[in-house]
Structure 1
Amino acid sequence: MTPMQPGSDRSVPAPARPGGRAELLPRVLSAVVMGAAALATAVLGGPLFDLFWWLAAVAVLWEWHGLAGLSRRNPLVLLGGAALAAAALLAGRAEPGHALVALALGAGVTALLAEPGRRGIAAGGPLYAGVLALALPLLRHSQEDGFAAVAWLFAVVWGTDTMAFFGGRAIGGPKLAPRLSPSKTWSGFLVGVACGGLLGLLVAPRTGGLAWLLAAGFVGGALAQAGDLFESTLKRRFGVKDAGSLIPGHGGVMDRLDGFIAAAVFAAAVGLWRFGPDGAGAGLLKW
């Protein structure tokens, strides 16, 4: 977690990170390594996939505590990690309702044990990180199109994030949310969402209803951008530049997965609504 300079005015946007090859190279290398690991576990599936996303969720929870000024050396982190493990296990068994109960219990007990005045933000940690532990196993372990659903989610979010970065730099123009993220532009947002939706369409199985699937990709991409801005709001509130420093070029795990978390909520919700817990993957892709 990188704090702002002492005495800085939080109402003034933090300066954008310097551009150029020095910034781009570690960003690209980190993205390639993380992407390869995520894809490999998605292909393999099973407990290894669940473990990968549980670890990612624990990392996000750890960074949430640091960002919010909560102690990382107390039972709250262990309690949250246990709730995340239970959620991942239950979601993988197509029991999202029980997984939500596990996360809610973890959040509730965390709130009770937290310091007065910080109970709300403390409870938010397991719920926010819990999206990774719940949504990804639920989609991957779907009886049909489990891997395809995860691949679609990867394509939409990564396509949106990557092309928003390059599109915004190439085109420029009006800022999307200058107080929250000075480097984001409307051009980057539109290019990113369009490319993310199209890339999702390319990797999804051809099952008909392509217009609906493309629309779902656009919504997922827009939510990914909104998730990025949500985390920017949190960082501005608590006066930090990055949620962590684990990933070169990106900051922390939370900095890298903020948009992914928002899009994953949408993907899992659509799949559940349409085909239920056992068919969430197919429910997301078959229109």
Structure 2
Amino acid sequence: MQSELRLRIISGIVLAIIALGATWVGGTAFELLSVAIAVLVYYEWSTITRLAERDFQGNAFGWLAQAVIAALILFGGADVTLLVLAAFAVIAAAWVFFRGGSWWLPGGIVYAGLTGISLSAIRGDSDIGLIAMIFVFAVVWATDILAYFTGRAIGGPKLAPRISPGKTWSGAIGGTVCGVIAGVAVFMSHFSLDDARIPLLALALSVASQIGDLFESHIKRRFGVKDSSKLIPGHGGVMDRVDGLVFACFAALLIALVQVMSAGGQSAPMGAILLAP
């Protein structure tokens, strides 16, 4: 047990160093990290849902979609990449509808594709993008860690016993409170807190991260697997580590798009849209 815990801690430290280092450097380094996460997420998604067994040609199309999305993340813009992702999702949905197959195909294309797009868009190339990404990390990591310890300390009613029997309402609430505090602390280290917008943003991302955790637990329970893969020693798979982060980034991307549309379509770096005072 001690050796397993030691392996888990070492792996966690290495992952944190890689994530924070790429975030600090930004640019191509972070885009490559985003692409790597997205590709590995699709690999694990397609493995869990057995897409290759159900529809080999459809799964090949899914890999083509991820390759194109990866290239656009590295060399294109977020707007174009989102449109291309939507086109691939529509084609995959039509493929399944008319030819049969698994609806997990378009689901995987969207889930993995949005993972890479939202991560790279939040960080971007600006200084405020660095702050925005650290803000998201702080909310998600604080939510995840403190939900675990609060739930174990307090216990009580289960949050979603059919999906994840270990999660409690006390853990969810405790994690959310700590996630909001962590996000506000990151923001206030750079800006003054003049209204409730940032705490509400942190609240939304914290809730989204817990929904993402439950979503991945549902998929694994649906297909009878314990871990998404064995890629990370002591931790399981990439999806096991980024499930909450992925949904938090999805929520951040959606919030930024709504803000852009409400402002008449005036574009700006996503980090600035989210956090600019």
Q: Same fold (TM over 0.5)?
A: yes
**Which residue pairs with 1:236 in the alignment?**
221
The answer to whether the 8 A contact 2:147-2:176 is kept is yes
Q: Secondary structure at the match of 1:176?
A: strand
Matched ranges for 1:62-141 at <5 A? 62-71=43-52, 75-89=60-74, 95-111=77-93, 116-141=99-124
Instruction: Give yes or no for the alignment of 1:286 onto 2:276.
Output: yes
Aligned length: 265
- Deviation of residue 259 (structure 1)? 1.0
Q: Deviations over 1:35-62 (max 9, x none)?
A: 1111100100111110111000000000
Deviation digits for residues 32-89 of structure 1, max 9, x if unmatched?
Answer: 2111111100100111110111000000000010111111876335303213214423
- The 1-side partners of 2:256 and 2:4 are apart by 37
Q: Residue 226 of structure 2 aligns to a residue in which SS?
A: strand
Within the candidate set 24, 27, 30, 1:43 is matched to 24
Q: Tell me the distance in 2 between the aligned counterparts of 1:33 and 1:192.
A: 24
Judge which range, 24-33 or 122-131, deviates more: 24-33
Distance in structure 1 (CA, Å) of the matches to 2:180 and 2:3? 30
Please list the CA deviations of residues 221-249 of structure 1 after superposition, one character each: whole Å capped at 9, or x if unmatched: 11100111111111222222221111233
- Bigger fraction of residues in helix: 2
Query: Cα offset for 1:274?
Result: 2.9
Question: For residues 59 and 75 of structure 1, what CA distance do their matches in structure 2 show?
Answer: 15
Between 1 and 2, higher relative CO (CA 8 Å, sep ≥ 6) is seen in 1
**Partners of 1:238 and 1:111 in 2: how far apart?**
21
Measured against aligned partners, the alpha-carbon deviations of 1:130-169 in whole angstroms (never above 9, x if no partner) come to 1221112212126451100001011000111111111111
Distance 1:177 1:271 in 2: 29
CA shift, 1:251, in A, is 1.6
For 1:75, what is the secondary structure of its paired residue?
helix
- 2:132 is aligned, of 140, 144, 149, to 149
Pick from 21, 34, 42: which aligns with 1:53? 34
1:170 maps to a residue whose letter is A
The percentage of counterpart residues that share the same residue type is 40
Query: Counterparts of 1:132 and 1:277 in 2: how far apart (Å)?
Result: 21
Counterpart Cα distance in 2 of 1:39 and 1:79: 29
Structure 1 residues 38 and 112 mapped into 2: Cα distance closer, same or farther (>3 Å)?
same
Whether the aligned pair in 1 keeps the contact of 2:212 and 2:243 (CA below 8 Å) is yes
C-alpha contact (below 8 Å) 1:169/1:188 kept by paired residues: yes
Q: Secondary structure at the match of 1:278?
A: coil
Aligned-pair distance for 1:26?
3.5
- Equivalent-residue separation in structure 2 for 1:210 and 1:28 (angstroms): 38
Amino acid at match of 2:46: H
Q: Which amino acid aligns with 1:75?
A: A
Output the CA distance in 1 between the equivalents of 2:69 and 2:17. 23
Please report how far the alpha carbon of residue 30 of structure 1 lies from its aligned counterpart in structure 2 after TM superposition: 2.4
1:266-281 counterparts in 2 under 5 A? 266-274=251-259, 277-281=267-271
Equivalent position of 1:27 in the other structure: 8
Deviates more, 1:163-172 or 1:38-47: 163-172
Runs of at least 5 residues in structure 2 that lack an aligned partner in the other structure: 261-265
TM-score, structure 1 as length reference: 0.83
Structure 2 partner of 1:261: 246
Aligned structure 1 segments of 4 or more residues deviating by more than 6 angstroms: none
Q: In structure 1, how many angstroms separate the alpha carbons of the residues matched to 2:219 and 2:258?
A: 30
Please say if 1:221 is aligned against 2:203. Answer: no
User: Offset at 1:123?
Assistant: 1.1
TM-score by length of 2: 0.86
C-alpha spacing 1:210/1:25, structure 2 compared with 1 (3 Å): farther
Measured in 2, the distance between the counterparts of 1:143 and 1:56 equals 21
How much has 1:124 moved relative to structure 2? 1.1
Tell me which amino acid in the other structure corresponds to 2:130: F
> Per-residue deviation at 1:113?
6.0
